[in-house]
Amino acid sequence: MAGLAGDGKCATATTAMGALRVYRAYARRWVFLLVVSLLSCSNATLWLSFAPVADIIAQRFLLSTEQVNWLSLVYLVVSIPCGVLAIWVLDSAGLRWATILCAWLNFAGSVLRALPCMVVEIRDPFAFLMGGQSLCALAQTLVIFSPAKLAALWFPEHQRAMANMIGTMANPLGILLANVLSPALVKKEDDIPVVLGIYIIPAGLACLLATACLRESVPPTPPSAGAAHSTSEKFLDGLKLLVRNKAYVVLALCFGGGVGIFTSFSALLQQILCANGYSNEFAGLCGALFIVFGILGALVLGLYVDRTKHFTEAIKIGFCLTSVVCVAFALVSQLRGQTVALAAICSLLGLFGFSVAPVAMELAVECSFPVGEGAAAGLVFILGQAEGVLVMVLLTALTVPRAEPSFSTCQGGQDPLDWKVSVLLMAGLCTVFSCCLVLFFHTPYRRLQAEASRSPSIQECECPATVDHAPCPQTLPEGPPRPPHSPGTDAAESPGAAHS
């Protein structure tokens, strides 16, 4: 009798274990994240490679300052009409094909913009520069939305925010490289061809890795309950749900405004500082500190929200602190000889402002679930680019020639500009967006709630067989196989491993 009772308990336990869902985190998710991060970094480097040395670029190619600004501004302009198409490609064609297409566009653009330095007979270099930047801008719309979707489809719940942080922060890392390399390598006009050639290398490497190493858009076995039970709406239906979601609209407008301000800040920093006597090297240093501290802040904040899930509190506090520092920059940047103060302000601006970017992307997915991750993150970015165009055009339009004696170090022979009104407007806009976010943004975490309401699960780490899609040794009753795009089906795998 005792034996029968024991067998009955064992059978009950086995049945209960068999009812648990088993998820797997594949080792090759890190390869996918590496490719997306390298591609995003290369794309951002190409975007702002001209801005830190705008005066020398204008001299070399006989361009006006406005034309050089448009080489950065085209990223924002192209992303607005093409962003919606990129969302559809990402959600319909899948991560793999979207990433490969992005890699080839990015590489082609990097080569095209270098042609005026390779071919002497080219009479209109601006057309080639703008054409190359436009191709890179098309690539940006595909890669900038990817980290949130990649984190949701390939990473377990306890690694999602970190994966999103790594993929998202690769973009400002590219901006950092542009701010450091361009002023360091471009001292005169003859240095420009070498720099343009150097920027082709990471674009080509990302293209090679994307084409050769990416095998599928989704893993054979999902890494989490959210990925396994993905109920993403159809493309147009998802956009309608986003527009009707009050919390998402507030987040998209406020964070999009922040993206626009930071985009304008990155593109115009050299012009703002050189007008008050600061060198290109110092402007590059400030841009580098801006990014470095942003990445460090994002790393710490990503670890924090991964464990606490305090997305809303983190982004609201970050926005408020960013507004205070932005006001400080508007005041101090108009003074001469304040190198230490400006360096500290740019560091704090990155620490508080850039660090909330991956948190905002995760929060966009949380408050809009079950809308697809590509649409949720993509629409925020599109609004950010649209607002960035308006902010940059407005800031440059409000500049006037200096009336008082100038200590400008700007090259190019043009009259120095007064940026006082422009930077004060930038600080005011940042404050308005922060206040709106704090007062009007309130949301439940819908994806986390949906995952918590489902049955318990077993998550396992990589086993040697995962590389070749072969299953690990089975110890639980095996359920029906889960097709790659089929939501709500189970894949029974080995529960023997711990969290990855």
Q: What angle do CA 231, 234, 240 make, to 5 degrees?
A: 105
pLDDT band at 359 (very low <50, low <70, confident <90, very high): confident
The model's pLDDT over 162-195, given as tens digits with 9 standing for 90+, comes to: 888 888 888 878 887 887 888 888 888 778 888 8
Q: pLDDT at position 465, please?
A: 37
Distances (CA, A) of 484 to 84, 220, 281, 290, 406: 25, 6, 50, 41, 63
Mean pLDDT of the chain: 78
Residue 360 has pLDDT above 80, yes or no: yes
Instruction: List beta partners, residue 320.
Output: none
Return the higher-pLDDT residue of 455 and 151.
151
Residue 299 has pLDDT above 80, yes or no: yes
Residue 2 has pLDDT above 70, yes or no: no
| Helix (H/G/I), strand (E/B), else coil: 145 | coil
CB 322 within 8 A of CB 121: no
Residue 222 has pLDDT above 60, yes or no: yes
pLDDT band at 458 (very low <50, low <70, confident <90, very high): very low
Q: If you count them, how many residues does the chain have?
A: 500
Q: State the Cα torsion 346-348-351-357 to the nearest 10°.
A: -70
Instruction: List beta partners, residue 460.
Output: 24
Q: What angle do CA 395, 298, 375 make, to 5 degrees?
A: 70
CB 397 within 8 A of CB 424: no
CA distance 20 to 13: 11
Residue 345 has pLDDT above 80, yes or no: yes
| Helix (H/G/I), strand (E/B), else coil: 419 | coil
Task: Give, as one character, the DSSP assignment of residue 469.
Answer: T
The residues, ordered by sequence, that sit 6+ positions from 9 with a Cβ below 8 Å of its Cβ are none
CA distance 409 to 277: 5
CA distance 107 to 118: 16
Question: What does the radius of gyration of the chain's CA atoms come to, in whole angstroms?
Answer: 25
Alpha carbon 433 to chain centroid, angstroms:
20
Return the higher-pLDDT residue of 208 and 75.
208
| Helix (H/G/I), strand (E/B), else coil: 296 | helix
pTM of the model: 0.67
| Helix (H/G/I), strand (E/B), else coil: 443 | coil
CA distance 138 to 131: 11
User: Helices then strands (H, E): number in the chain?
Assistant: 20, 4
pLDDT band at 483 (very low <50, low <70, confident <90, very high): very low
The model's pLDDT over 114-123, given as tens digits with 9 standing for 90+, comes to: 888 876 667 7
Helix (H) or strand (E) holding 104: helix 95-112
Residue 261 has pLDDT above 70, yes or no: yes
Verify cis geometry, omega within 30 degrees of 0, for the bond prior to 473. no
CB 391 within 8 A of CB 428: no
pLDDT band at 48 (very low <50, low <70, confident <90, very high): confident
Helix (H) or strand (E) holding 166: helix 160-185
pLDDT band at 388 (very low <50, low <70, confident <90, very high): confident
Instruction: List beta partners, residue 418.
Output: 400
Residue 497 has pLDDT above 50, yes or no: no
Q: pLDDT at position 15, please?
A: 41
| Helix (H/G/I), strand (E/B), else coil: 23 | strand
H-type alpha helices, 398-483: 420-440, 446-452
Return the higher-pLDDT residue of 154 and 80.
154
pLDDT band at 474 (very low <50, low <70, confident <90, very high): very low
| Helix (H/G/I), strand (E/B), else coil: 22 | strand
CA distance 71 to 198: 18
Residue 225 has pLDDT above 60, yes or no: yes
CA distance 365 to 355: 17
User: Which tokens sit at 160?
Assistant: 């999602």
Among 232-236, 237-241, 443-447, 459-463, the range with the most confident prediction by mean pLDDT is 443-447
* E-assigned strand segments in 335-419: 400-401, 417-418
303-308 contacts, C-beta under 8 A, 24 or more apart: 303/162, 305/161, 305/359, 305/362, 306/158, 306/159, 306/160, 306/161, 306/162
Residue 460 has pLDDT above 50, yes or no: no
Distances (CA, A) of 249 to 76, 142, 240, 319, 447: 20, 22, 11, 17, 18
| 253-285 burial code (b ≥16 CB/10 A, e <16) | bbbbbbbbbbbbbbbbbbbbbbbbbbebebbbb
Distances (CA, A) of 448 to 152, 157, 225, 375: 12, 9, 10, 18
User: Which tokens sit at 284?
Assistant: 């590059």
